[in-house]
Amino acid sequence: MNDVRVAAHQVRFEQKAYWRNPMAAVFTFAFPIVFLIVVGTTAGSSEVPGTTLRYDQYVVVAMLTFGLISACYTNLAMSICTRRETGVLKRMRGTPIAIGSYVGGLVGSVLIVVTILTVIVVAMGMAFYHLHFPYHPAAVVVTLLVGIVTFSSLGLAVTILVPNADAAPAIVNGIYLPVVFISGVFYPLAQGSVLARIAAWFPVFHMIRALVVAFEPGPGTGFRGHDLGVMLVWAAAGLWVTARRFRWEPRRPT
Amino acid sequence: MPPVQPVATGPDVAISVRGLTKSYGDFAALRGIDLEVRRGEVLALLGPNGAGKTTAVEILEGYRARDGGEVTVLGFDPARRDRALRARVGIVLQECAVDPYLTVTEALDQRALLYDDPRPVDDVVGLVGLGEKATSRVKVLSGGQQRRLDLGLALVGNPELIFLDEPTTGFDPSARREAWDVVRDLCAEGRTVVLTTHYMDEAQALADSVVVLAGGRVVASGTPDTLGGRDHGVSTVRFALPAGVALADLPLPTGSGAVVRGGFVEFASAEPTGVLHELTRWALERGEGLVGLTVLRPSLEDVYLSLTGAVDGTGVDGSGVDGTGVDGPGTGAR
């Protein structure tokens, strides 16, 4: 048995299941696209302070972040909670599959979703809002990869807090929506504001900032080491907690 | 039927358990269980809810760590969760644990890929009777069909040892018979089966040996026909009281305790042979038949209920005389 081959097959089955479940794709694709259209047609074309991007162009980057978080954190957490509740995880654990192959299948599937999302959102930005093709494409790719690792890790970690599948939407969204709101996903944060200083503790803010820089013209490689570093600290924390406390079965009433 | 795949032979014993204990906090779920399952055997684990069946099975499956005792499954300690062991074991859980958005064939394909020597997926689809649903998504299957897929998923890896946790709960009678046939075929192929069930007729129909758990202990073990002294138990004789005959006219031994209920004479006897001889001779001499004559041993269910203390007072001796247990569907007639 070849673990890598098994992981590749897992990706295939994860993808089939993903595209057949309409709910999962709504927030990842429909919401960013609709938001882009609505905001893009109403927003002024003034520049966002501290960047060279116009507001509507900034929204493209912000919605890419939003969609990525939805694909990695929200969808992963929800599907893990459902699978835990219905016994799919327990059942998987009774087979000879390597845990790495299973997680690899999940993350590989997310990678495909984020790639498609990125192409759609960036193409829309370029077509409708004169967004320039990223000036630092390598930095965009690396930032997206770090984002996938970070928010997938946090998606796995948050399942530890969820007692059963009914509670999953409230807990998963209850943690992430406030963070998304204060992190400048829907409007740029005023630099140095209290909100910006709070948001700087969380990975969403850093993901947007790293992406904005990677999209902008400028000297150097476009990498934001500090922002990526903060995200990776969150990723490591999520993996650490997951490795110690992950539950394969729902909490039983005792 | 797919071609019979011989499974690896080895030492005679598939599962060996000695002094198994497990507690959840203050609650002692298992208080020292011993059991042994030979290769190619079907073991039925019976017991009321909370008796420790699921805890015991989940320790054997490697899902739970034990507190004490020795456990060997196919030569492995299941607590170590060796991959080599997991590759040789098939598990059917109580929940239908399949991604609802995959089709039947896809779910089986996904599972088959994890094993070195899987059964062909098409064969498994036929084996569990889902041929017409092969391309249907799991979420549109009925509850019984999902359970059958569950069974198929446990079989696709060609396991030597199969755990079935209440495998036919929710099945209609014909689906249950089909599932029983599948289990019998598995057994005929030399595979070992451990099943938990609430249905006594299922244990009676399938099991080579039966272990009854209650309160975390083994309260009885044996074959379905000898469990709890069933083979030596008191039989119940029942027949229609002939017209114009009083109970006192019958040639019954004194103290037989015979009663008439609904026009039927009923009494219990430890040695029914002689009594029946007298009765039938009496009837033949009068030129009558004993309409509806039956002689029933206590059913497995009666024995089970008395062992697990769910019957108030009367125990095995009272079984059947109360009527309802004896007339139940078939369990006592074997």
Contacts of B93 in chain A (CB under 8 A): 87, 90-91, 94
Write the CB contacts of B210 (distance below 8 Å, at least 6 apart in sequence): B43, B44, B46, B203, B220, B221, B222, B223, B224, B227, B300
Please state, as a whole number, how many other Cβ atoms lie within 10 Å of the Cβ of residue B177.
Answer: 12
Q: Is the pLDDT of residue A164 over 70?
A: yes
Distance (Å, whole) CA A144 – CA A199: 19
Q: Chain B partners of A83 at a C-beta cutoff of 8 Å?
A: 99
Q: Provide CB contacts within 8 A for A244, sequence distance 6+.
A: none
ipTM: 0.85
Q: Which structure tokens are listed for A193?
A: 């504001």
The alpha carbon of residue A210 is apart from the nearest alpha carbon of chain B, in Å, by 36
- Asked whether the beta carbons of residue A96 and residue B63 sit closer than 8 angstroms, the reply is no
DSSP summary character for residue B81: -
Look over chain B and give the mean of its residue pLDDT values, rounded to a whole number: 83
Q: Over the stretch B210-225, which tens digit does the pLDDT of each residue have?
A: 999 988 999 888 888 8
pTM over 0.95: no
Q: How far is B137 from chain A (nearest CA, A)?
A: 10
Asked if residues A191 and A48 have their Cβ atoms less than 8 Å apart, the reply is no
State pLDDT tens for residues A224-247: 899 999 999 999 999 999 999 998
pLDDT tens figures, A99-136: 999 999 999 999 999 999 999 999 999 998 889 999 99
Say if the Cβ atoms of B102 and A13 lie within 8 Å.
yes
Residue A1 confidence (pLDDT): 52
Our CA-based measurement puts residue A135 at a distance from the nearest CA of chain B, in whole angstroms, of 40
Would you state the pLDDT for residue B334?
A: 36
Sign (positive or negative) of CA dihedral A58, A64, A70, A72: negative
Q: Which of B27, B114, B140 to mutate to test the interface with A (most CBs of A within 10 A)?
A: B114
CB A59 within 8 A of CB A35: yes
Q: What is the 3-state secondary structure (H, E, C) of A48-95?
A: CCCCCCEHHHHHHHHHHHHHHHHHHHHHHHHHHHHHHHHCHHHHHHCC
Q: How close does chain A come to B9, measured CA to CA in Å? A: 21
Residue A192, Cβ density class (10 Å: 0-12 exposed, 13-18 middle, ≥19 buried): exposed
Could you tell me which of A69, A228, A78 has the C-alpha nearest to residue A140?
A: A228
Which of A19-28, A57-66, B231-240 is modeled with the greatest confidence?
A57-66
Query: Cα separation of A90 and B155, whole Å?
Result: 17
Please provide the distance, in angstroms rounded to a whole number, between the alpha carbons at the two ends of chain A.
39
The per-residue pLDDT for B224 is: 83
* Gyration radius of chain B over CA positions: 24
Nearest CA in chain A to B83: A96
Cα distance between residue B218 and residue B212, in whole Å: 6
Beta strands B161-165 and B192-196, pairing class: parallel
Tens-digit pLDDT profile for residues B98-134? 888 999 999 999 999 999 999 999 999 998 889 899 9
Q: Which residues pair with B71 in a beta bridge?
A: B17
If we measure between CA atoms, which residue out of B229, B136, B128 comes closest to residue B178?
A: B128
CATH topology of domain B13-228: Rossmann fold (3.40.50)
Query: How many residues would you count in chain A?
Result: 254
Sign for the pseudo-dihedral over CA of A247, A251, A252, A254: positive
Q: Which residues contact A2 (CB under 8 A, 6 or more apart)?
A: none
pLDDT at B314: 35
More confident residue, B37 or A251: B37
Q: What is the structure's pLDDT at A123?
A: 95
The CA distance from B182 to B129, in Å, is 10
| Cross-chain residue pair A13–B110, CB shorter than 8 Å | yes
| Cβ pair B113:A9 closer than 8 A | yes
Question: In chain B, where are the structural domains located?
Answer: 13-228, 231-333
* Residue position matching structure tokens 């202990």: B217
Tally C-beta pairs within 8 A across A and B. 69
Q: How far apart are CA A187 and CA A145, in angstroms?
A: 24
pLDDT at B132: 92
